[in-house]
Structure 1
Amino acid sequence: MNSQNGFLLSFIKYGENDAVLHCFTEEEGFQTYFLKGVYSKRNKKKALLQPLSKLSFSINPIRGNGIASVSKFELVKNNDIYNDIKVNTIIFFISDFLSQILKFENKNLTIFFSIDEFIDQLINKNYQSHLLFLLAVLKIQGVTPLIGEGRFLDPETGTFSASSTHHIFSEEISLLWRTALTAENFYTTKIHSSMRKDFLDSLLVYYHYHITDFKTPPSLEIIQQIFE
């Protein structure tokens, strides 16, 4: 039996009482675990199954071709952020996003600790943090744009050019990308509420160009409605 700390990305109820968990762990990257009996009437730990909860798992050895099973799990840090509807919406959106982005990712401490930093931003009610977290992930993956002298960001080439190549990447949005990319800390970048939807749209366009098989998270419509 070994112990793993990880963020819960998604979970699926299996049968009456069991669940399958998808997690990003500190030591082994993306992992799938089987959790027995969590939905039984006497089990109070089902309340801990929240997207992006940081959990400590005790893992049983894999037998045959099955998946690893969890013998017990605990909450690593209790941060009461799920009662804020805006934060809750952001969490569901980012957990959707990470579930597809990280599904083939091995151990990556930079990503693991960046999720920690992102959660800290949510604790402090930073309602634009999800936008800058998406940019941080692009940087970790090594596909952020190259800073040049042009006024317009070309999302396909990842370079700045003298003329516009995509209608979403206006001069204003392109400047916002440049400001964030050159900031010492992404999260210090100020994004006016009127620009957040367009900036998010521009991020998703960029992901489609630079991340293989990227699909728009299903919860996009919900987060756009909440922040309108």
Structure 2
Amino acid sequence: MNSQNGFLLSFIKYGENDAILHCFTEEEGFQTYFLKGIYTKKSKKKAFLLPLNKLNFSVRLGKGSGMQTISGFELLNLHDLYTDIKANTVVFFISDFLNQILRNENKNLPLFSTIDEFTDQLSNKNYQSHLIFLIKILKIQGVAPLLGEGKFLDPETGNFVYNSTHPIFDEENSSIWKSIMTSQNPYETKIPSSKRKNFLDSILVYYHYHIPDFRTPNSLEIIQQIFE
């Protein structure tokens, strides 16, 4: 038996009463757990199964290479992100995003603490925090753009160049990228609300170039509608 702190990224119902959870944990990185009996009438904790909830799991090791089983879990963060429609939409988008790109991620404490920081920002109604967060992930993963004197970000090479190479990376969008990357407090960078849709599109383009097998999250359309 061991104890793990982790963020819930996704879950699926298994059979009548059980579930399979995908989590990013503090000590072991991405993990898949089997949770028995969570959907029984007596269960009082099914309400804890919300994306990006931070949980403490008591885990029984599986036999051989079998899946680890959760024997108990408690809620660690008390963010009320799910009554705010904008924050709720961001949570589902980011959890979908992380569930995809962290599948092969081992223990990564900087990344774990960055998720913590992001949920704090979002709970304080920083509705552009997901845009900053996605760029911070690129820096942790070592694939963020290299700073240079050019005014245009080339998404394929990851360099700032003197002439535009991609229509979405105009001078204004490229300037926002550079501001976030050079700021001592990136979450304080102001992104005009009218530019956020275009800026998110630019982030997705960059991920397609630099994260293997990246796919656009299914929840993109919803988050774009909310922030129009």
Match of 1:212 in 2: 212
**What is the distance in 1 between the residues matched to 2:79 and 2:92?**
16
Judge conservation of contact 2:4–2:58 (CA < 8 Å) in 1. Answer: yes
Q: Which amino acid aligns with 2:8?
A: L
Provide Cα deviations, 1:172-223, integer angstroms capped at 9, x if missing partner: 1011111111101211110000000010000000000011111111100000
Structural RMSD (CA): 0.7
Cα drift, residue 170 of structure 1: 0.6
Provide Cα deviations, 1:108-160, integer angstroms capped at 9, x if missing partner: 00000000000000111000000000000000011111111111110001111
Alignment of 1:119-134 (within 5 A): 119-134=119-134
Match of 2:14 in 1: 14
Judge conservation of contact 2:61–2:67 (CA < 8 Å) in 1. Answer: no
Q: Which amino acid aligns with 1:73?
A: F
Counterpart secondary structure, 2:45: helix
Match of 1:170 in 2: 170
1:93 equivalent to 2:101? Answer: no
**What is the distance in 1 between the residues matched to 2:87 and 2:59?**
30
Q: Which amino acid aligns with 2:142?
A: G
Cα drift, residue 64 of structure 1: 3.3
Match of 1:189 in 2: 189
The list of structure 1 runs, each at least 4 consecutive aligned residues, that deviate by more than 4 angstroms after superposition, is none
Cα drift, residue 65 of structure 1: 3.5
Counterpart secondary structure, 1:200: helix
Counterpart secondary structure, 1:7: strand
**What is the distance in 1 between the residues matched to 2:2 and 2:65?**
18
**What is the distance in 2 between the residues matched to 1:151 and 1:78?**
42
Provide Cα deviations, 1:20-68, integer angstroms capped at 9, x if missing partner: 0000000000000000000001101000000000000000121133200
Match of 1:202 in 2: 202
**What is the distance in 1 between the residues matched to 2:76 and 2:138?**
27
Counterpart secondary structure, 1:9: strand
Cα drift, residue 161 of structure 1: 1.1
Alignment of 1:1-228 (within 5 A): 1-228=1-228
**What is the distance in 2 between the residues matched to 1:139 and 1:22?**
24
**What is the distance in 1 between the residues matched to 2:141 and 2:182?**
17
**What is the distance in 1 between the residues matched to 2:85 and 2:172?**
29
The number of residues matched between the two structures is 228
Identity of matched residues, %: 70
Q: Which amino acid aligns with 1:100?
A: Q
**What is the distance in 1 between the residues matched to 2:76 and 2:171?**
43
Q: Which amino acid aligns with 1:136?
A: K
Judge conservation of contact 2:2–2:58 (CA < 8 Å) in 1. Answer: yes
